[in-house]
Amino acid sequence: MKALMMLLTALLCTPVLAKETPPAGGAPKPFTLTAQRTVTLDNGLSVTFVQYGNTPKVMLRLLTETGNVDDGDKDAVSDLSYQLLLEGSKNRDAKTIAQQAALMGGQLNTSVDVNSSFVEIDVLSEFVGDAAGLLADVVINPNFTEADKTRLVTNFVRDLKVNKSQAQSQAAEAFYQHLFAGHPYGKIFADAAKVEALTLADCQQFVQNHLVASRSHLFISGQFDEAAAEKAVRAAFAGMNAGKGRLLTTVNSSAKPGLVFIPRDKAVQSTIRLGLPVVDPSHADYVGLDLLNTVIGGSFGSRITRNIREDKGYTYSPGSSVSSRIKAAVWFQQADVTAESTAAALNEIIKEIRLLQSTPPTEQELNNFKTYKGGIYVLQNSSRGAIINQLWNLKIHGLPMSYLENYVQNINAVTPQQLSDLAKKYLNVEQMTLVVVGDAAAKAQLAADPALKTLYKL
């Protein structure tokens, strides 16, 4: 006991050290894109070879301009079709596919998004030719069965119901439905009944119409024998259906700004999503808008995060984002705030937006965010898959290669006044849609607040 008392006395008498300021970050280095070479097969399939890294691994990813945007009235047919690709081809069953991929040091994966979907495999470099053959087989020779389809539909619907029960998902769904009503971009979640009604023929038809060479691009990234890879790819993918290309037109939102309230009885938190359509990556302002997002709410040190998380304690993990589609994009701030602070948190978010519109940030503050963005950019380009992501992003948005190489310089060229001007140009609070998922008392809070009542006509 005496020893314990002595220890406590020593701790109490120890002076508290002042928090040290971390050293300033170094100047971001210019980004140089890894050299690549692209060829086009007779059926229209583009193939890009990228020598990257020092690890004896190689990734093959077949990206296609298709996804939920092509579902039409057959909800999730793209998701189910891509999942079925892994269940077997005319030459290999699912077990054989998995075993052969594993023997190469990898596994086959698929992913479906709104505009883009892919099939990929990441293997040891020596197996690049075999991997190309396996990848081509599952894409060109799918063998869908009723049993596999039924099982995958059951799993999909179960996960769908779980996702749609969450407040964050409900807010996102309402937000996009409001902004892009009547367009595929407005549909975030499938209708369970429509998924259960999908037939095997629906999935087969989707693959035949959309997983085609003229809308696809095969990227091979890593350390590999390029000549051997090209020879294998030409042989394996020569039989891929050419299909027809397509061009998406600009998507304009006709939504009127306002409040969308989704009741969630006795919710202890309110889920807030506030935002509006902005320019997509093909626009000259997009790089500056990306930096603006980082400053206002898109990073842990952002203004809104410091305000409603660090200073006020209204929420634990707020964040803003610029979410882009082909020919469309939105900016939004989201937060799960304590129910009793719904109106207060929203007022602080709006206050920070208007403050940045009226008063440019200091050079020091902006430089800190520029350094952060430069460092993150390097990390975003530091893997085989990341390089593929960047190259595909250029292609689908019609951007030149210089976009990647000059990104850091373009971020650094944005001045405080330009950032403030971008906030005025794109973050017009009066034009924003507000979605709130919460208890009815949260809506009453908004109506009782004079500024919010006027803004949202409550």
What pLDDT was estimated at residue 265? 96
The reply to whether 152 and 291 lie within a common domain is no
Is 16 inside a domain boundary? no
> Do residues 169 and 189 make contact, with C-beta atoms less than 8 angstroms apart?
yes
pLDDT in tens, the chain (458 residues): 444 344 434 433 444 444 455 555 555 566 667 789 999 999 999 999 999 999 999 999 999 999 999 999 999 999 999 999 999 999 999 999 999 999 999 999 999 999 999 999 999 999 999 999 999 999 999 999 999 999 999 999 999 999 999 999 999 999 999 999 999 999 999 999 999 999 999 999 999 999 999 999 999 999 999 999 999 999 999 999 999 988 777 788 888 899 999 999 999 999 999 999 999 999 999 999 999 999 999 999 999 999 999 999 999 989 999 999 999 999 999 999 999 999 999 999 999 999 999 999 999 999 999 999 998 888 878 899 999 999 999 999 999 999 998 999 999 999 999 999 999 999 999 999 999 999 999 999 999 999 999 999 88
The Cα 117–Cα 107 span in angstroms is: 17
Q: Are 223 and 398 in contact (CB under 8 A)?
A: no
Pair 202, 324 in one domain:
no
Is 14 a member of any domain? no
| Predicted local distance difference test score (pLDDT) of residue 27 | 59
Query: What pLDDT digit, counting tens, does each position of 383-406 carry?
Result: 999 999 999 999 999 999 999 989
| 243 backbone φψ class: left, alpha, beta (φ>0; ψ -120 to 50) | left
Edge-to-edge, what's the strand order for the sheet holding 269-278? 258-263, 433-438, 269-278, 328-338, 319-325
* 292 and 202 assigned to the same domain: no
Give me the domain span that covers residue 226: 39-237
pLDDT of residue 391: 95
Same-domain pairing of 265 and 231: no
Q: Which of 237, 269, 292 is the last residue of a domain?
A: 237
* Total domains, the chain: 2
* CA–CA separation, 210 and 179 (whole Å): 26
Which residues 6+ apart lie within 8 Å of 21 measured at CB? none
* Residue-wise burial string across 179-199, b where 16 or more C-beta atoms lie within 10 A, e elsewhere: bbeebbbbbbbbebeebeebe
What radius of gyration do the chain's Cα atoms show?
Answer: 25
Whether 111 is in a domain gets the answer yes
Based on the domain organization, do 304 and 426 belong to the same domain? yes
Read off the CATH number of the domain in which 389 is found: 3.30.830.10
Residue 28 placed within a domain: no
pLDDT digits (tens, 9 = 90+) for 209-250: 999 999 999 999 999 999 999 999 999 999 999 999 887 777
Q: What is the pLDDT, as a whole number, of residue 12? A: 38
In this structure, is residue 376 part of a structural domain? yes
User: Which H or E element spans position 452?
Assistant: helix 450-455
The candidate with the shortest Cα–Cα distance to 120, out of 234, 21, 216, is: 216
The answer to whether residues 222 and 271 belong to one domain is no
Judgement on whether residues 277 and 200 belong to the same structural domain of the protein: no
């979410």: which residue's tokens? Answer: 323
- Asked if residue 226 and residue 309 are part of one domain, the reply reads no
The answer to whether residue 213 is domain-embedded is: yes
